[in-house]
Amino acid sequence: MTLRVQILKDKFNSSLGLPFKELLPTSVIEQAISELNIRYYRRLFDPIVTLWAFLSQVLDTDKSCQNPVSKIIAYLAGVGVEIPSTDTSAYCQARSRLPETLLQKLFRETGENLEEKVTTEYLWCGRNVKVIDGSTVSMPDTAENQKAYPQPSSQKPGCGFPIAKVGVIFSLATGAAIALCIDVMNTHDIKLARQLYQFLNPLDILLGDRAFCAYTDLIAIKKINCDAVFRKHQARKTSMRKGKIVGDCDKLVTWYKPKICPKGLSLDEFDILPPSITVREIYYYIVIPGFRTKRVSLITTLLDKVTYSTLDIVGLYDQRWDVELNLRHLKTTLGMDVLRCKTPSMVRKEIYVYLLAYNLLRSLMWSAATTYGTPALRLSLQGTRHHLNNFIPQLLAAASTKRLQIYRTLLKVIVHKTVSDRPGRSEPRVRKRRPKAYPLMTKPRHELRKQLQTA
């Protein structure tokens, strides 16, 4: 057993460990296991082998559990040792034994370690910018998943899928995911955000859309020595006659404490809020044909017009769209949109592994970009994943002396696949490809089967 485990560790270190050597080598995983005081039996699927297999599973287009088990059998068959059973039960049980705290810790450490590589030239006005947004993911329709993450109330029982709401903070410089929280679908974005403020570092700037623009949250962000740039919430009316004008379409306004305690706050938290806060309001118009939004009002706690000019802040908010692309990479490119695990605890683990894999790809893109002088955010994440998966067999087959050369070639080909920056692009929100002409499910499947049998 020990020999087989060591063989697998060496194989995974050669295939995945080398590209991600700076963020997730075996030593980092072992240190996290030690710090969390995780104890385990010496078996084929120990935490390290299981984690590497889990990562290879989410990075591949085939998400089945059979795929990583087949890879492990192939690795062991290649060196002539006893191969395990082709049954996926042992691997699935090993995944369930992986502590969620271990995956959380590794995910956060990869994001933080990648952030440490950001130099001054990649900062905005000398400060680090984090972007926040929320999204949803669906999962198999099991009783446990439905209980933890209920389907939309508008759908009949048995006709929908459980859905979880996720809130994520991304780094604007690297694109890496920094923090995550998971809740039920009908949770408001702002409630998720209040769980994520603790992961901001002093002097960070938080960038978000209008859902996060609330008096309480601006106070909370300033309290931790950070700043915010949000689009103004639609419920707040704009008045050009109020406020101190500091520039064209730029003024300082005073917001006063709400008269009624907002939802989500206790009376004690509401009572200690200051009576007012001064914010900066910037408004501008969008004249690009086809754009749905014609006027944008921004609210920020960056009051110094000399250090943070009007155009700088407008340009910064324009980059908020990157968070939508990051979420699309997670859900569409990597396939996190539809999860496969059948219990709530495994669903959360699966989400953390997806984010860990996403951060590792971002680290590979960052290494390639800084090595060859290309903007990291202009590189294709899908292309990076394709190159990585195609280079893995070569990394496995190569001798240790040649492996580093192959890794450098991998970095070189990654920068060949760039994504064009097309600001101001607008497309109609329509679908050309017609879906199949089947009706939507309006009754549970067992009722529909019975209906077919009696017809």
Closest CA to 175 of 110, 247, 236, 241: 110
207-225: per-residue pLDDT in tens? 999 999 999 999 999 999 9
Terminal CA-to-CA distance of the chain, rounded, Å?
57
Angle subtended at Cα 150 by Cα 144 and Cα 156, rounded to the nearest 5 degrees: 110
* CA–CA separation, 18 and 359 (whole Å): 15
Residue 165: name the closest of 144, 189, 141 by CA: 189
Domain of residue 250 covers 228-304
Helices (H), ranges, 282-343:
310-318, 321-328
The identity of residue 306, as a single letter, is: V
Q: For residue 3, what pLDDT is reported?
A: 79
**Is 269 contained in some domain?**
yes
Which among 29, 168, 176 has a CA at the least distance from the CA of 117?
A: 176
Q: What is the three-class DSSP state of 93?
A: helix
Task: Kindly indicate the confidence band of residue 422, based on its pLDDT and cuts at 50, 70 and 90.
Answer: confident
Residue 179 lies in a domain: no
Q: Is residue 244 part of a domain?
A: yes
pLDDT of residue 328: 94
Closest CA to 258 of 237, 281, 234, 275: 275
Average pLDDT over the chain, rounded to an integer? 90
Helix axes 189-196, 215-223, angle to 10 degrees: 10
- What pTM value is reported for the model? 0.93
Q: 63-112, pLDDT tens digit by residue?
A: 999 999 998 888 888 877 888 889 999 999 999 999 999 999 999 999 99
Is 147 in a helix, a strand, or coil?
A: helix
Instruction: Give CA separation, 341 vs 76, 95, 101, 163, 377, in Å.
Output: 27, 10, 18, 13, 31
Most confident of 16-20, 24-28, 213-217: 213-217
Alpha-carbon distance of 316 to 387, in angstroms, equals: 31
Tell me if 274 is assigned to some domain. Answer: yes
Could you give the strand order of the β-sheet that contains 227-231, starting from the edge strand earlier in sequence? 177-184, 163-171, 129-138, 205-208, 227-231, 295-300, 276-285, 250-256, 244-247
At residue 238 the predicted structure's pLDDT band, cuts being 50, 70 and 90, is: low
Residue 149 is predicted with a pLDDT of 97
Query: What local confidence, expressed as pLDDT, does residue 360 receive?
Result: 93
Residue-by-residue DSSP string for 336-390: TTB---SSHHHHHHHHHHHHHHHHHHHHHHHHHHHHHT--GGGB-HHHHHHHHHH
- How distant, in Å, are the alpha carbons of 160, 180, 241, 354 from that of 437? 19, 38, 55, 33
Helix spans in 212-273 (H): 215-223, 267-271
Could you tell me which residues come within 8 angstroms of residue 408 by beta carbon, excluding any fewer than 6 positions away?
Answer: none
* Residue % of the chain over a pLDDT of 90: 63
Distances (CA, A) of 13 to 7, 17, 66, 333, 396: 10, 4, 21, 24, 9
pLDDT average, residue stretch 36-47: 87
Q: How many domains does the chain have?
A: 1
**Beta bridge mates, 283:** 297
When pLDDT is averaged across residues 329-354 and rounded to a whole number, the result is 96
Is residue 3, in this structure, part of any structural domain at all?
A: no
Hey, how many other C-beta atoms are within 10 angstroms of the C-beta on 241?
4
Lowest mean pLDDT segment, chosen from 43-52, 95-104, 377-386: 43-52
The mean pLDDT of 231-247, rounded to a whole number, is 77
State how far the alpha carbon of 350 is from the alpha carbons of 347, 365, 440, in Å. Answer: 5, 23, 28
Q: What whole-number distance in Å separates Cα of residue 3 and Cα of residue 11?
A: 12
DSSP state of 121: G
Give CA–CA dist 64/342, Å, rounded: 13
Interatomic CA distance for residues 127 and 115, integer angstroms = 12
Residue 161: partners with Cβ closer than 8 Å, 6 or more residues away: 138, 139, 140, 141, 151
Tens-digit pLDDT profile for residues 314-329 = 999 999 988 999 999 9
What does the pLDDT read at residue 171?
96
pLDDT grade for 239, boundaries at 50, 70 and 90:
low
316 with 124: CB under 8 angstroms? Answer: yes
The per-residue pLDDT for range 109-154, each reduced to its tens digit, is: 999 999 999 999 999 999 999 999 999 999 999 999 999 999 998 8
In a domain, 248, yes or no: yes
Task: Look at the block and give the residue holding tokens 């104890």.
Answer: 39
292: nearest Cα among 426, 422, 423, 432 = 426
262 located within any domain: yes
- The pLDDT of residue 12 is 78
72 backbone dihedrals φ, ψ, rounded to 5°: -65, -45
Contact assessment for residue 301 and residue 280, using Cβ atoms and an 8 Å cutoff = yes
Tell me whether residue 296 is in a domain.
yes
**Per-residue pLDDT averaged across 158-176, rounded?**
95
Residue 344: pLDDT band with limits 50, 70, 90: very high
Q: Is the pLDDT of residue 226 over 80?
A: yes
Select the more confidently predicted residue: 244 or 407: 407
